[in-house]
Structures are given as C-alpha cells and as structure tokens.
C-alpha cells in the first residue's frame, strides 16, 4: 500500500513539474493528498473488475495497475502513450485491466460503471464495478439515474465518493442540501463512511464490501473523506480556501500516516528509504523514457474513430413469392435472431420487457430470453450509459431511446462517451452499441415528439446513423447494426411500423453505409431517406406522367454517407433534389449538396434543390402540421422546376 501511494504521490509531483515546464499540454488535475482513497478502494480488486474515474484520475489508474511510463507518455502526447496520445490527462484508460476511463465530464462515469456491472451480472462472473466520483458530481442528474438504476437491478457496483470538500471552487456546504448518507438511504442502498486518508481503513472497508457485492448484496455507497492539496487544476489561484486549511490537512498526510503505521509494525528507516528510492528511480526512468518516445504521425489522425466493419455484399431482393411482413415484425425478428445467436446481446429500455415497448414491437422476447430483456426506469442518461459500459465490457447491448426527441436528455453519453471513447483510448475501448429510437411527424404528436434530428447525430464523428425505409431493409440493417463493432443509432419511422413488404430470408443482412437505387431514371436524381423515400417514389411516379424520368436513391445510412452512389447518379442525370423530413437549414441535405457541388459541379445542369420541413418546431394542429411537413406534392413541384431548367 505504501509503495502504491508513493507511486501516485511521486507521479503527481513529476506531472506538476512537467506541466510547469511545458512538457505536458492541456489541462492537468492532480490527486495529491488523495492517494489513500485510490489505493484502498482498488486494493481488493481483480484485474477483470472495472473502475470508472474522473478528471482527477491519475491516482485511480495507478492504483488499479496502470504503468507510469504509458501514463507519462500519454500526458506528453506521445504515440506510445496509454491511449496513443488521443486521451491526455483527463481521459486515461486501459480497458484490458478494467480501467474504463478517467472522464472529463462530471458524473459521466457512474452510468458507465453501471453498464459494466450489468455485464458482470448477466455473465454471472463475480465481477465488481467501482465508480469513483467527487462530491460535486452528486448534483448531476447522471448520479441520480445511475444509483437508482443500480438499486433497482441490485447491481454489483460500488459508488466511491471522494469527498475532498470542494466542487471545483465551491465548498460542499454550498452545493448540497442533504448529506450523501441520506441520499443513499433514499435509494435503499447501504452507506459506509471511511477516512479517505487512512489507506488501511479504506482497504479494509473495500475488502469487505467487494466480498459482499460479489455475493449478491447489491450496490453500496461509500463516502471517503479526503482533501486535495493542489487547486482544482494546475494554475488555480485558489482564492476560495485559506492556506491554514490546507496546512491542517497536510498534518494528516496519508503517506506519512501509513509510514508511521509501518514504523510501529517494525519496518526500519532503511527499508522505508529503500522503498522511496526504488519508487523515485522507477518514476524518473519512466519520465526519461517517455521523453524519448515519438509523437504521433500526423498521417494517423483518422485512426481509431471508426472500427473496420465487416465487408458485406448487397443481398438479393426478397423473392417475389416471399411472404409479406410488416416493419414492426422486421424489428422483432431481427432482435430475436440476434438474441438467439449471440449471448452477448441484450435489450434494455423503458417498458421494453413486460410491455414489449411502447408500440408492442418486442412482445414475447422477455418470455423467451428472460433477464436479457430488461425494463429500465425512465432514465435516458442511465440507459445510454449502461449501454456504453456494457459495450466496453464486451457485450452487444441494444438500448432503446423511446423517442428521438429525447436525445437531448442523454446526449452526453452519445456525444462524449460512445462516440469518443474508442478514439480517446487509442482504439482500446470496444463499443458495439446499438441505440434504437423512432420519430415521425404527421399524427399531431407536437413539437417534442415529432422531430427528425438525424443531422444532429450525424454531425458527431464516431457515430453511425441508420434510417431504413422498408421492412426488408429494417430487418437487414438492424441485424447489421447489432453485429457492428461501432456505436450505431438506428432510427425508425413510427409511421412505417405497419408498412408491409416481402420478407427476406433469415440471413438477410444489408451492408451499413451503402445507399440503394430504388427507382432508375435519367432526368433528375432524388436523394431521400426513411419515410420520405416513399413520398419521393410517389412524386417520381407523378413526374413520369409528365415525361420526367426520376432516379430515386434511398440513403439507408445517413452516417457514413454513400457519396459515390449519389455522384454516380448525378453524373447520369445532371440534376439533384434532396428530400428529408427534417427542417431544411443545416439538415443532411446541406452536406449532400456541398459534396455534390464540390465533386460533381460540372455534371450539374441546374441548381441543387432541397425539400424539407419549414424551419420551425413541429406544430400540433393538423392544418399547421400539414403545411409544415413536406410531402409528395412538394417533391413533385421541385421536380418540375428542376426539369424545366
């Protein structure tokens, strides 16, 4: 324990000097003074147990077993750093030894730890997850959602609060109206207080707790009282606390306290000095070795954003005599096939189990697959976070966001976690996560249940966004999404749930990122997606009666965008119309138009046109919604304009 604390203390001291001298770029948040909490909490953990950490995470990573050399190299931005120079101080991670990442977003690690504990619970492997967080994180909604979900599901997770008295610059008294003990009681979970500066006490508490949690005790809340010696960040002027307060806490230096315990146990001063010299030598050698390492090559900048996905041929169209099925049947069948064929797949979301989801799409799956189909509380951040953590733990979660409009409630777990963790870990983090959601205007669902927000998600590097338009494509693309090694947001249009079409064979899987020409033509290209594909096809039929030959492309995947297929069509027709249900400004049509204007400018015989919703929230009254929402008549009028040029 003393060696580990000396390692953390010496590491942080050297990082402070390296930062001061300009060898460490970016933000640095040191854990000096909190060594005993990290070492004690990680003392009984197995390599396969998982921790999630905070922006002040160096100590946690070292206590869990990460080598100093890789960490120094990472902080210096070197290619052989722990995360290939992609993470830096706030994002160090090594999933191979259960470190699922320090995190620059306050409280974001708690739902991820919950996800890792779900994986352990499903596999019954006796694993434990530990979520480190500071007292300031208790004010975050992610804290509430994660703890509540863990309590409801009785998950093997320890929530370890390092209460160092300050949330950034604010004292704890200004942050919380109720102590953590009362909060734990409200969730129905046990609470344990420990002296966070006493490594033996912390280790003893954690040893007992991990044994109990592995045995099915359920989650527990620990509050370790400690103190950070440095400011919130290096360079913090620290006007919010008195020097006397820091001096008082330094009298309870965890390293010195434990050295006294060792002295009382009979260890000689020579032995202690030898230990200190050994640790100092290891750290000094690590710093020098890290300095000699190369920086990443600029040509590698695109690495680790998206994992290579399996190459798949385009399957044949379903046979003409194939039985018909509905889009809702396609969703059920695809998920059922993946649950049956891969034990790593599980489904979680609001009312997806007993109710079969709000539209009844998943009815019967709970009865067949039991605990692998789970109802969650109404906690979108926890749902997305459990998907992230479970995916990092090697599972293939399929989590449901009931309405696409609700993405704002949980966007951090998609924007800053699912999409970025593979990149920020230098490709080490697995993220085979599928997020199913739905949208669809035209039924007076109002402004908060009707939005087509695919452009918002497509703008996030690392996310794949899929929007099928037919039952067969829904089946083939959903299976491909669940099997994909990348985080995929699968967006269904609820107005298509009852649509019928030919049922493909069970092995029907469609390649992600490949558009389809669903109607050939020679005069105008129409690019569309989801339900608007059918409006485009109807408009193309109307235009054909007027002698206008229209080629219709169904994108199927919004990100990545199949630009080559669009360019090939525009090269043939010379005219382009983009139709989508989202509002026109800043929609995916803008990106398509920009790509075509750049790559196929000399092929164009007319200006590019876009058809979409008006730039205002979806109205409720049917007459207003009808005026707002684009349809086949709008597309037909645009086709006439283009053909006339």
Identified catalytic residue from 60, 232, 449, 508: 449
For position 294, what pLDDT does the model report? Answer: 98
Give the position of tokens 């338009």. Answer: 469
Given CA atoms 501, 403, 418, 122 in this order, what sign does their dihedral have?
Answer: negative
| pLDDT tens by residue, 52-84 | 999 999 999 999 999 999 999 999 999 999 999
Average pLDDT over all residues of the chain: 97
Q: State phi, psi for 91 to the nearest 5 degrees.
A: -135, 25
The candidate with the shortest Cα–Cα distance to 302, out of 480, 112, 560, 100, is 560
Helix-helix angle 632-644:532-544, to 10 degrees: 50
Instruction: List the chain residues with pLDDT less than 50.
Output: none
**Catalytic status, residue 449:** yes
| pLDDT tens by residue, 540-568 | 999 999 999 999 999 999 999 999 999 99
For position 393, what pLDDT does the model report? Answer: 98
Q: How many CB atoms lie within 10 A of CB 179?
A: 15
Distance of CA 361 to the CA centre of its chain: 25
| pLDDT tens by residue, 173-228 | 888 889 999 999 999 999 999 999 999 999 999 999 999 999 999 999 999 999 99
Distance of CA 8 to the CA centre of its chain: 29
For position 319, what pLDDT does the model report? Answer: 85
Q: State phi, psi for 84 to the nearest 5 degrees.
A: 60, 30
For position 177, what pLDDT does the model report? Answer: 87
Please state, in angstroms and rounded to a whole number, the distance separating the CA atoms of residues 75 and 58. 10
Decide if 377 contacts 369 (C-beta within 8 A). Answer: no
pTM passes above 0.75 = yes
Going by the DSSP 8-state scheme, the letter that residue 460 receives in this structure is: S
Decide if 419 contacts 182 (C-beta within 8 A). Answer: no
Please state, in angstroms and rounded to a whole number, the distance separating the CA atoms of residues 446 and 309. 38
For position 109, what pLDDT does the model report? Answer: 98
The candidate with the shortest Cα–Cα distance to 80, out of 70, 88, 91, is 70
- Residue 237's Cβ-count burial label (10 Å; 0-12, 13-18, 19+) is exposed
Q: Torsion angle, CA of 130/132/137/141, rounded to 10 degrees?
A: -20
Return left, alpha or beta for 235; rule: phi > 0 is left, psi -120 to 50 is alpha, else beta: left
Please state, in angstroms and rounded to a whole number, the distance separating the CA atoms of residues 163 and 583. 46
Q: How far is CA 63 from CA 6, 30, 68, 292, in A?
A: 11, 14, 11, 25
């Amino acid at each position: 324990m003393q060696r580990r604390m000396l390692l953390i203390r010496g590491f942080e001291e050297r990082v402070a000097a390296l930062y001061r001298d300009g060898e460490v770029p970016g933000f640095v948040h040191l854990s000096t003074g909190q060594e005993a909490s990290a070492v004690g909490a990680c003392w009984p953990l197995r390599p396969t147990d998982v921790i999630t950490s905070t922006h002040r995470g160096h100590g946690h990573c070292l206590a869990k077993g990460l080598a100093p050399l890789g960490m120094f190299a990472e902080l210096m931005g070197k290619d052989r750093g722990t995360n290939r120079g992609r993470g830096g101080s706030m994002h160090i991670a090594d999933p191979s030894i259960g470190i699922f990442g320090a995190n620059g977003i306050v409280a974001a690690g708690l739902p991820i730890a919950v996800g890792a504990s779900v994986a352990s619970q499903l596999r019954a492997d006796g694993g434990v997850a530990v979520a480190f967080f500071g007292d300031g994180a208790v004010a975050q909604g992610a804290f509430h959602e994660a703890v509540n979900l863990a309590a409801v599901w009785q998950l093997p997770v320890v929530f370890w609060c390092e209460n160092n008295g300050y949330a950034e610059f604010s004292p704890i008294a200004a942050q919380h109206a109720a102590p953590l003990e009362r909060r734990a009681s409200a969730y129905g979970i046990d609470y344990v207080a420990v002296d966070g500066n006493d490594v033996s006490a912390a280790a003893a508490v954690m040893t007992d707790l991990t044994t109990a949690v592995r045995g099915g005790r359920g989650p527990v809340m620990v509050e370790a009282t400690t103190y950070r010696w440095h400011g919130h960040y290096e360079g913090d002027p620290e006007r919010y606390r008195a020097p006397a307060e820091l001096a008082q806490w330094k009298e309870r230096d965890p390293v010195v306290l434990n050295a006294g315990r060792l002295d009382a146990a009979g260890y000689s001063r020579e032995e202690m000095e030898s230990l200190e010299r050994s640790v100092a030598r290891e750290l000094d050698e690590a710093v020098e070795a890290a300095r000699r390492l190369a920086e990443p090559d600029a040509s590698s900048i695109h690495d680790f954003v998206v994992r290579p996905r399996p190459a798949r041929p385009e399957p044949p169209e379903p046979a003409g005599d194939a039985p018909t099925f509905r889009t809702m049947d396609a969703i059920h069948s695809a998920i059922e096939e993946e649950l049956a064929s891969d034990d790593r797949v599980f489904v979680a979301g609001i009312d997806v189990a007993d109710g079969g989801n709000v539209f009844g799409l998943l009815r019967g799956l709970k009865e067949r697959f039991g605990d692998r189909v789970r109802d969650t509380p109404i906690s979108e951040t926890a749902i997305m976070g459990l998907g992230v953590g479970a995916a990092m733990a090697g599972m293939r979660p399929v989590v449901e966001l009931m309405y696409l409009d609700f993405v704002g409630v949980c966007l951090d777990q998609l924007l800053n976690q699912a999409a970025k963790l593979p990149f920020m870990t230098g490709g080490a983090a697995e993220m085979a996560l599928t997020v199913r959601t739905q949208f669809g205007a035209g039924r007076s669902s109002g402004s908060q249940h009707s939005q087509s927000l695919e452009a918002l998600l497509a703008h996030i590097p690392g996310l794949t966004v899929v929007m099928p338009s037919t039952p067969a494509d829904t089946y083939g693309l959903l299976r491909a999404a669940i099997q994909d090694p990348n985080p995929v947001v699968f967006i269904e249009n609820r107005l298509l749930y009852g649509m019928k079409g030919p049922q493909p064979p069970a092995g029907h899987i469609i390649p992600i990122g490949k558009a389809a020409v669903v109607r050939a033509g020679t005069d105008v290209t129409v690019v569309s997606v989801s339900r608007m594909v059918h409006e485009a096809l109807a408009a193309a039929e109307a235009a054909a009666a007027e002698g206008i030959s229209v080629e219709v492309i169904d994108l199927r995947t919004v990100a990545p965008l199949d630009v080559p297929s669009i360019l090939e069509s525009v090269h043939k027709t010379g005219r382009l119309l983009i139709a989508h249900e989202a509002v026109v400004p800043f929609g995916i049509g803008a990106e398509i138009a920009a790509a075509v204007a750049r790559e196929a400018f000399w092929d164009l015989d007319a200006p590019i046109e876009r058809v979409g919703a008006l730039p205002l929230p979806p109205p409720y009254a049917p007459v207003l919604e009808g005026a707002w929402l684009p349809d086949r008549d709008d597309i037909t009028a645009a086709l006439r304009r283009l053909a006339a040029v």
